[in-house]
Amino acid sequence: MATCNPFPEGKIVFLVIYAAVVASIVFSTLVIVSFYTSPAASAGGGGNGKPLHLVATSLFSSSSPPPSPIVTRTPKLQREPSDMFTRAIWDVPVDSKMPDLKSFQLTKEMVKQHAKDNIIIVTFGNHAFLDFILNWVKHLTDLNIFNILVGAMDTKLLEALYWKGIPVFDMGSEMITVDIGWGSTKFRKMGREKVLLINALLPFGYEFLMCDADMVWLKNPLPYFARFPEADLLTSTDQLRPTTTDDSLEVWQKVITAYNIGMFHWRPTDSAKRLAKEWKDILFGDDEKWDQAGFNDLVHQVLGPSLKGESGLFYGYDGTLKLGLLPASIFCNGHTYFIQAMPQQLKLEPYAVHTTFQFSGSDGKRHRLREAMLFYDQPAYYDTPGGFLSFKPGIPKSLLLDGPHTVQSHFSLVNYQLKQIRTALAVASLLNRTLVMPRLWCRFERTWFAHPGILEGTLTKQPFVCPMDHLFEIRTMLHGLSEEEFGPQIHFREYSFLQNPSVPKHVKESLLNVQLCDAHSKGCNISNETTSRGFIQFPRNSTEQMYMQVFSQHKDIKVLHFSSMANAFQGFSDEGLSYVFSEVGLESSRKVGHDPSRDRKAAALSHVSRPSMPSLPLHRNNHMASASHLLFGLLLRGVRDRAALTPYSLFRSSPAALRRTSFLLPPNPIRLFRATVQPRSGSRLQSEMEAVNYTFGPYKIHCTEVFHSTLHSFAMVNLRPLVPGHILSMKALIHLIDIILLDDICMQCSVPLLCMYAKMHRSLWWHLSLYSLHLYTFILHA
């Protein structure tokens, strides 16, 4: 018997399809309505409505676009604030509104999302280091390393990195956004924040490579760290002398310098956690403690023995921490890379360079990386509207290679180069062009402390290509010169600029060679024929008017390259400019009534004094005092008046700036330009300190550079090069000071210079571990 079927088979299928379509339409309508009425939609996409947003976008195909504003969103799934770390680095967010700061808190989930093979690479900083951080990230991503996180110490940096597609988290530091000086209160605060970050990362259970932002990765370091799986901690050092010639760890028994915390690799072991916690406790118990000094104090509590085998690891801290020292030949500091060129000499491939051992703050670090073509600048840096000016220095072989390496031969070489650079700066200023600095050569190097010219045991060759901050105060050249007093700023570029691949092709190809010639010689003329071939002849000692007349016709040329700058320019017609540039030469310090502060115009040349002349210290804000050595000048004076000032407090833990000690006598004010310093009134000590100055001949010495004074003499810090003088060197005196009370010595001492020497020597021995002191004295008669 046939079964009764009220619906034919085809009609059933049709009803099922029809019902499914109607249900889909209803469901899609509900989803869209709920999206537009949710708080996340009204806020511009973020917050609580994210799951609905993801469902809604997944329902629309390319043939059926969703209504606005969803159509403007990326077609792929885009996770918002809390999941933004899954986005590829450099992928710019599509949001128009910054997510809530809570979304950027550092969490274990955040690290998990971005770690690879259980390792994360971390740096941090404030907004002043934005370009360093971007450079750091760019070098890593160029190496195909993407397991990166960046800690932001202020919201301005956090926002800037977020909008550039950099994975960033909020450190909650509330740090200022401007550059902070080494050794300052803010600098020490940054160190404490770094240690807090290490303590926050260790419990997450991931290995991490903690880096300062002023370093650059040149090669993937992760395989190197994997060679030492037993290590709790691998750290870089300030070592200058190689202890190994291959890529093995440093021989720890031969490392005599500080362990540098600019790059170090942590594993989340119990020993590492104990070290980090105690490190944090020390820093937060003493606001004056430098983070690196605290780290070294702890790690050096126990050193050794070595682990079994030939790994190069050893025990440190409490005897359980397994520690290794990264070789400075391939994990380079600023000296082994930029001065010694140690990787090249040992035929090794460097992994990294940290911009330490330089003398112009962040500006000096940036410029060193630029010289090495390791810094990524904005496109405008490589193509300025006024164009560029370069020249060939043409250093004579006798200056560069002949004779022994002495102070005299060093300054002969340096002064020859500075004289040409002074002229080049003048011509660049006249033509409104940016000067491309020449490659600079030195016979002696520059450090904060006395040395024989080249640090013993290092691989520095003489002569060597010296960084610009060895001879110039780069910070002064970039900032702080009054345009009203010194004229328009003269811009400059590093010596390697025109070889940099980032310089556009049209800039490199737009070149005019300028061949200097004798105005009275045959054929020394300017013609269109030579210009069409890419060069012109130009008379030496040309006037300002001649320069303007000739080169105003070549404003469209990007690069003017001069064959030399020797006698290339006769001088300015403007009396003020003429004075500024003419007084910066080798004879400037000998002119009667010369104001040395005016020397700053021509790039604030530092090595301008004659080798036979004593180097002259200036106030630190003048930026003329650049150090080849640390010089103590004991300057006898005949002024008898003195006023009671409180002693200087213990000076800061900076090896670059000589720290004042509490047991030294207070400085004495003296007559300055026939005006007697008045005794203090009330408690305005700071104003009084700023008012007290000293004189050295015709030169004013600011009170902040004087760290000790007696009735007839004072001692100052001079950051200029060493020159021949009277040397008092007593290496055994420190043992005498340890036995006899210093005050008793000075109470009965009949030789004031000896007393002053004893006090300074003990201070330096205590703070800097200097066991001998060379004292240079200059005698001035009243």
Q: Are 149 and 114 in contact (CB under 8 A)?
A: yes
User: Is residue 141 in some structural domain?
Assistant: yes
Write down the residue that tokens 């016979």 correspond to: 443
Range of the domain at 46: 26-80
User: Is residue 91 in some structural domain?
Assistant: no
Question: Domain check: are 514 and 552 in the same one?
Answer: yes
Question: Domain check: are 347 and 394 in the same one?
Answer: no
Going 523 to 528 to 534 to 535, the CA torsion angle's sign is positive
Q: What's the pLDDT score for residue 594? A: 29
Give the Cα separation of 386 and 377 in Å (integer).
18
User: Residues 257-291: pLDDT tens digits?
Assistant: 999 999 999 999 999 999 999 999 999 998 889 99
The closest of 343, 595, 339 to 469, measured between CA atoms, is 339
Q: What's the pLDDT score for residue 64? A: 33
Q: What's the pLDDT score for residue 574? A: 77
Q: What's the pLDDT score for residue 84? A: 65
| Cα angle: 312, vertex 318, 321; to 5 degrees | 40
Neighbours of 464 (CB within 10 A): 19
Identity of the residue numbered 393: P
Write down the residue that tokens 């009735």 correspond to: 711
Q: What's the pLDDT score for residue 482? A: 76
* Tally of domains in the chain: 5
Structure tokens at 15: 């009803």
Give the Cα separation of 125 and 107 in Å (integer).
19
Beta bridge partners of 718: 631
Give the Cα separation of 254 and 354 in Å (integer).
21
Residue 497 is classified by DSSP as: G
The phi and psi torsions of 59 (rounded to 5 degrees) equal -85, -20
Q: Are 634 and 486 in contact (CB under 8 A)?
A: no
- Give every CB contact of residue 60 below 8 A, 6+ residues apart in sequence: 66, 70
Do you find a cis peptide bond into 467, omega within 30 degrees of 0?
A: no
Residue 461 is classified by DSSP as: -
Per DSSP, helices labelled H in 505-609 are 505-509, 528-532, 544-551, 575-582
User: Is residue 281 in some structural domain?
Assistant: yes
Give the Cα separation of 372 and 576 in Å (integer).
37
Question: Domain check: are 208 and 227 in the same one?
Answer: no
Q: Which long-range contacts (CB under 8 A, 24 or more apart) does 53-57 make?
A: 53/80, 55/31, 56/31, 56/32
Q: What's the pLDDT score for residue 448? A: 83
The phi and psi torsions of 120 (rounded to 5 degrees) equal -130, 145
Give the Cα separation of 770 and 767 in Å (integer).
8
Structure tokens at 155: 């919201």
| Cα angle: 665, vertex 671, 675; to 5 degrees | 140
Give the Cα separation of 7 and 733 in Å (integer).
116
Give the Cα separation of 88 and 109 in Å (integer).
17
pTM attached to this predicted model: 0.69
DSSP state string for 201-220: HGGGT-EEEEE-TTEEE-S-
Q: What's the pLDDT score for residue 523? A: 77
Give the Cα separation of 635 and 115 in Å (integer).
60
User: Is residue 245 in some structural domain?
Assistant: yes
Neighbours of 745 (CB within 10 A): 16
User: Is residue 508 in some structural domain?
Assistant: yes
Residues in the chain with pLDDT values less than 50: 1-9, 33, 35-82, 583-691, 720-750, 769-772, 776-782
- Give every CB contact of residue 708 below 8 A, 6+ residues apart in sequence: 660, 664, 665, 667, 714, 715, 756, 759, 760
Question: Domain check: are 184 and 326 in the same one?
Answer: no
Question: Domain check: are 540 and 657 in the same one?
Answer: no
What count of Cα atoms within 13 Å lies in the side-chain half-sphere of residue 738?
Answer: 7
DSSP state string for 364-390: HHHHHHHHTT-----GGGGS-TT-EEE
The closest of 696, 698, 697 to 706, measured between CA atoms, is 696
User: Residues 672-718: pLDDT tens digits?
Assistant: 222 223 333 333 333 433 445 677 666 667 776 676 776 666 777 65
Give the Cα separation of 309 and 77 in Å (integer).
51
Picking from 327, 357, 387, the residue at the C-terminal end of a domain is 357
Identity of the residue numbered 89: I
User: Is residue 538 in some structural domain?
Assistant: yes
The closest of 438, 396, 388, 421 to 555, measured between CA atoms, is 388
Q: What's the pLDDT score for residue 78? A: 40
Question: Domain check: are 170 and 271 in the same one?
Answer: no
Q: What's the pLDDT score for residue 711? A: 62
Question: Domain check: are 254 and 298 in the same one?
Answer: yes
Question: Domain check: are 276 and 139 in the same one?
Answer: no
Neighbours of 574 (CB within 10 A): 11
Picking from 172, 187, 213, the residue at the C-terminal end of a domain is 213
Burial of 15 (0-12, 13-18, 19+ CB in 10 A): exposed
User: Is residue 486 in some structural domain?
Assistant: yes
Give the Cα separation of 90 and 67 in Å (integer).
29
User: Is residue 622 in some structural domain?
Assistant: no
How far are the Cα atoms of 127, 365, 725 from residue 157, in angstroms, in the given order? 5, 20, 50
Give the Cα separation of 639 and 630 in Å (integer).
26
Question: Domain check: are 188 and 250 in the same one?
Answer: no
3-state secondary structure 635-657: EECCCCCCCCCCCCCCCCCCCCC
Picking from 213, 239, 268, the residue at the C-terminal end of a domain is 213
Question: Domain check: are 114 and 165 in the same one?
Answer: yes
Question: Domain check: are 163 and 129 in the same one?
Answer: yes
Question: Domain check: are 206 and 240 in the same one?
Answer: no
DSSP 3-state of 142: helix
